[in-house]
Amino acid sequence: MNNFDRMVLQFREVLAETEKLSGRALRAYQDKLLVPLLRHARDQAPFYRERLAPVFRGDDVDLEQWDKIPLLTREDAQRNTDALTARELPAHAGPVKSEETSGSTGRPLEHLHNELVEVANAGLTDRAFRWWDLDGNKTLASFTSRRKDLAPPPEGSTVIGWQVGYTGWHHTIDMWADTDTQIAWLKARKPDYLTAYSSTLLALAERVRQRGIELRFEQIISNATAISDEIRDVCQEVLGARPYDHYGAQEVGSLAIECPRCGLYHVNAEGALIEVLREDGTPCAPGEMGRVIVTSLYNYAMPFIRYEVGDYAIPGPARVKCQVKLPTLSRVLGRYRSTFTLKDGRIIYPYVAIGRFRDFISFEQVQVVQTDYDAIEVRYVPIDDRPADQAGLEAYLREAIDDSFRVRVVAVSEIPRAASGKFDDFLSLVPRLRE
């Protein structure tokens, strides 16, 4: 066994204990990781030299002043890559790798991470598999958008071992493969488990149902994009399993895991400090939607401290009847670009059941786009010649989202993926209003 695998197994054992810690003990655990990271960032990454001044008293760190540290936006990170890069790393951080985010907004982010980040993410992912009772000796299939050279359609790639210490086959294919190619690939390999973006799962299930074929899995894991109850339901009906969700971001790793026991998301507090903040920067109360702010506790190569990921989430209750005691999120809502901004400045997340659209249009795929502060365009790929009931759909959307919207229904031949390879069910093309 190599050193990386040994470290993952050790961390796996640690996680089995830390997930049971009290809130106070868990915060002490985080603080022990946070303090050396802050000292390192101040001394080795020029971007943080003055930025972290509020928490330092000489060489002492005052975490009571944590909220005085400015947020790091994606734009900050894109403009300051060199200044965010540490000049030297502690030996225990391990080798450094460079990656680039998928760039779903058309602006990818180049970033670095050291080996400890990969160890942490592998251990945290293993914990998800343990919670979901996945057997590492069975077969896993994954759709990915970051391995085009290693898993090109139509064959993809296959390796042994998707979980440390086990020998199950791992089949991987680039998610840019069209849905029929994905189906043929899955039917040929017959995996026990499937992991994919939620939007990909929806397109897959809809196409399987449309073609009337049999394709079933023991378990499905959704990742990278927010998942709706509707997607869960159609996967259960068509693909035989209701997906569990694994929330994370490429540049900061695994962030939260849906719990099969209590139904909430447990935050991976051993790998990241996560805040959910209002627009004014104060912490959200349970049940209140806010911005997700992440501090990656193991990235010494390019520290991400109070990084604004670009997602909205809703904190869960402080106390939960669950054997896992980690902090909770009740819901992960997804990217800012999926929110709609109204004329009065309100920012809302469109809770709309796409399945209801079938009462008004017949479609293979559909996308709801905000084109102005009071205008929505429903773009859909029709599957027959049935005329659209625009008036009915407009009435539904005005009731479901906001009654200020005008609605236009447009039939299209294709709805393209974002640069990341993801499908955006909801997309806003208007900027936020500034006071």
Q: In DSSP terms, which residues pair with 253 in a beta bridge? A: 249
Q: pLDDT (tens digit, 9 = 90+) per residue, 232-277?
A: 999 999 999 999 999 999 899 999 999 999 999 999 999 999 999 9
User: In this model, does residue 64 exceed pLDDT 90?
Assistant: yes
The pTM for the full model equals 0.83
Q: In DSSP terms, which residues pair with 142 in a beta bridge? A: 172, 195
Per-residue tokens: 390: 């625009």
pLDDT score, position 352 = 78
Instruction: State residue 161 phi and psi, 5-degree precision.
Output: 95, 95
CA proximity to 350, closest of 276, 410, 428: 428
User: In this model, does residue 105 exceed pLDDT 50?
Assistant: no
* Residue 333 half-sphere exposure toward CB, CA atoms < 13 A: 25
User: In this model, does residue 309 exceed pLDDT 70?
Assistant: yes
> What one-character DSSP code corresponds to residue 88?
S
Q: How far apart are CA 68 and CA 56, in angstroms?
A: 11
Q: pLDDT (tens digit, 9 = 90+) per residue, 26-52?
A: 999 999 999 999 999 999 999 999 999
First CA to last CA across the chain, in angstroms? 58
Q: How far apart are CA 292 and CA 314, in angstroms?
A: 9
Say how many C-beta atoms besides its own lie within 10 A of residue 315's C-beta: 24
Report whether 312 contacts 336 (CB < 8 A): yes
> What one-character DSSP code corresponds to residue 394?
H
CA proximity to 232, closest of 353, 129, 142: 353
User: In this model, does residue 176 exceed pLDDT 50?
Assistant: yes
Q: Which residue has the tokens 């106390």?
A: 319
Q: pLDDT (tens digit, 9 = 90+) per residue, 345-372?
A: 887 777 677 778 889 999 888 899 999 9
Q: How far apart are CA 62 and CA 56, in angstroms?
A: 6
Which CATH topology does 340-428 take?
GMP Synthetase; Chain A, domain 3 (3.30.300)
Pairing of β 347-348 and β 265-267: unpaired
CA proximity to 260, closest of 223, 219, 288: 219
Report residue 226's pLDDT band, with 50, 70 and 90 as the boundaries: confident
The domain 3-135+192-338 is classified under which CATH number: 3.40.50.12780, 3.30.70.1400, 3.40.50.850, 3.40.50.300? 3.40.50.12780
Side chain identity, residue 425 = D
Q: pLDDT (tens digit, 9 = 90+) per residue, 190-208?
A: 999 999 988 789 889 988 9
What burial letters (b/e) apply to 328-356, b meaning 16+ CB within 10 Å? bbbbbbbbbebbbbbeeeeeebbebebee
The SS3 of residue 82 is: helix
Q: Where are the domains of the chain?
A: 3-135+192-338, 340-428
Same fold, 3-135+192-338 and 340-428: no
In degrees, to the nearest 5, what angle opens at C-alpha 67 toward C-alphas 109 and 327? 80
Report residue 167's pLDDT band, with 50, 70 and 90 as the boundaries: very high
Calculated CA dihedral for residues 114, 147, 169, 203, nearest 10 degrees: 120
Side chain identity, residue 185 = W
